[in-house]
Structure 1
Amino acid sequence: MGGTVVAGLLAGYGIAIPVGAVGAHLVAVAARSPWRTGAGAALGIAAADGLYALLAVLGGAALVPVIAPVTTPLRWVSAVVLVGLAVRATWTSVRAYRARSAPVRDGADAPLTPVRAFLAFLGITILNPMTVIYFAALILARGPSAASTATEGAVFVLAALLASVSWQLLLSTGGTLLGRVLTGPRGRLTTALASSTLIAVLAVGLVR
C-alpha cells in the first residue's frame, strides 16, 4: 500500500509541477484576487487532475484509443480559450490602469468568486485530455499490480489528488503574495501584461 501512495504522489506532482498556460493563468488570477479565489481556482485544477486519475484507474488502456482521436480538437479549443482569457485580462487591466480610482459602473469586471474560479479552472483543465493519457500510461507501465484492487486504486487517486492540490495551492499562494507586493497600478498592469503574454505563448505551444 505504501508503494501505491508513493506512486500516486509522484504521478500527481509529475502532472502538476510543469507550469503551463493554465498554471500561469492561475498565478495571474491569484495575484489580482483574494486568496480564497486563488485557492478555489487551484482546487479546480486539482479536481480535474483527480478526475482524470480516477478515469485512468477505472478505464486504463481502454480509454487511450477513445480519447486519442479528439486530442487535437481539444488542444485547439483549450488554446483558443486560454488566448481569449489572456486578451480579456489585458483589456481589463489596461482599462483599470487608465481609470485608476474611477468607480466601476457595472458588474462586468466584478472579481471572480471562489466557486466561479473553481468551475472556470476545472473546465479549462478538463480540456487537456493528455492528463488522462498520462495517468493511464503510468498505470499500464507499472503492470497489473498498479491498481489491482479497488482500495489500491482509490489510494492511488487520492494520493495523486493531494499532490496536485498541494502544488496548485502553492502556486496560487505565490500569486497572492506577488499581488500584495505589487499593489500599485503600474505594478499590477505590468504583471498583468507579462502574465497574459506568457499565457498566450504557452497556449499557442499546445497546438504546435
Structure 2
Amino acid sequence: MTAALVAGLLAGYGIAVPVGAVGTYLVSLTARTSLRTGACAALGIATADGLYALVATLGGAALADALRPVLGPLRWASALVLLALAVLGAVSAVRHYRGHRLATRPETPAPGPGRAFVGLLGITLLNPVTVLYFAALVLGTHTEEAVRPLEQGVFVLAAFAASASWQLLLAGGGALLGRALTGQRGRLVTAMVSSGVITVLAVRMLVAPA
C-alpha cells in the first residue's frame, strides 16, 4: 500500500512539475482573474492526469496479463521510454532557455470557474505526452505478482493528489510568483526537476525485482 502511494505521488509530480504552455496559462489566468477561477482550472489539469493514471492502470493490468511472458523486456522498454521523456524534456527546456522563447497567448475574455475547469481539462487530455508517460510507467512496473485493485486505486488517487497540489500551488502563486515560475529560468528549473523525478522512476523500475 505504501509503495503504491509513493509511486503514485512520484508519478503525479513527475508529469505535473514542468511549467510548460499549460502551466504558464494557468498562472497567467489566475493572475488576471481570481484564485477561485485558477483553482478550478488547476483541478481540471489534475483531473486529466488522474483519468490518464486510471486508464493506464486498468489497461496496464490487462496488458500485463496478456504479455506476461515478455514482462522482463517490457519493463526495460518502458524504463527507456521514461528516460527518453526525461532527456527530451530537459533538452527542450535548455533549447527554449537558450533561444529565449517564452510561451505566449493572445488576450481573450477571462473565463469563469466552470469554463476554466472544462477548458484546462480538455487541453490536458489532448496532451499525448501524458498518455505515453503513464502507460510506460504502469506497464513497466507490473510484475508477475498480481496488483490488487486497492493498490491501483491508491496509485491513481495519489497521482491525482500530487498533480492537484502542484497545480493549485501554481494557481495560488499566480499573482506573486507568476513571473518567477513562467520566466526562462523558472521553466528551465522546473523542467530539470521533473526530468530528475522521471529518471528516478525509471531507475527504480530497472532495479526492481522481476
Indicate the TM-score class for this superposition, using the shorter chain for normalisation.
Answer: 0.5 to 0.7
Q: Within 5 A, what are the aligned runs for 1:52-201?
A: 52-60=52-60, 86-89=104-107, 109=109, 111-144=110-143, 148-177=147-176
Superposition CA RMSD, Å: 2.6
Which stretches in structure 2 are left out of the alignment for 5+ residues? 64-102, 188-210
Contact 1:57/1:153 (8 A) holds in 2: yes
Decide which moves more: 144-153 or 4-13: 144-153
CA distance in 2, matches of 1:56, 1:128: 14
1:184: which partner in 2?
A: none
Q: TM-score, normalised by structure 2?
A: 0.61
Shift of 1:144: 2.6
Q: Distance in 2 between matches of 1:146 and 1:112?
A: 47
Distance of 2:167 and 2:34 partners within structure 1: 15
For the pair shown, which has the larger CA radius of gyration, 1 or 2? 1
Residues 2/145 of structure 1: CA separation in 2 closer, same or farther (3 Å cut): farther
Aligned CA distance change for structure 1 residues 15 and 32 (closer, same or farther; 3 Å) = same
Pairwise CA distance, 1:3: 0.6
Secondary structure of residue in 2 paired with 1:144: coil
Q: Do the aligned partners of 1:4 and 1:155 also contact (CA within 8 Å) in 2?
A: yes
The alignment's TM-score, normalised by the length of structure 1, stands at 0.62
Q: Structure 1 41/163 Cα, relative in aligned 2: closer, same or farther at 3 Å?
A: same
Partner Cα distance (1:38, 1:131) in 2: 21
The residue aligned with 1:19 is 19
Change over 3 Å in CA distance of 1:146–1:139 after alignment to 2: farther
Query: Percent identity over the alignment?
Result: 60
Partner AA of 1:175 in structure 2: G
> Does residue 46 in structure 1 map to residue 46 in structure 2?
yes
SS of the aligned residue for 1:18 comes to: coil
Q: Deviations over 1:34-79 (max 9, x none)?
A: 10000011001000000000010011285xxxxxxxxxxxxxxxxx
Q: Judging changes above 3 Å, is the alpha-carbon distance between structure 1 residues 88 and 39 closer, same or farther for their aligned structure 2 residues?
A: same
Amino acid at match of 1:88: P
Structure 1, gaps ≥5 residues long: 63-84, 93-108, 180-190, 200-208
1:166-199: CA deviations, max 9, x gaps?
00000011113358xxxxxxxxxxx7xx98xxx9
Q: Indicate how the Cα distance of structure 1 residues 87 and 16 shifts in structure 2: closer, same or farther if over 3 A, else same.
A: closer
- Give the superposition deviation at 1:162: 0.2
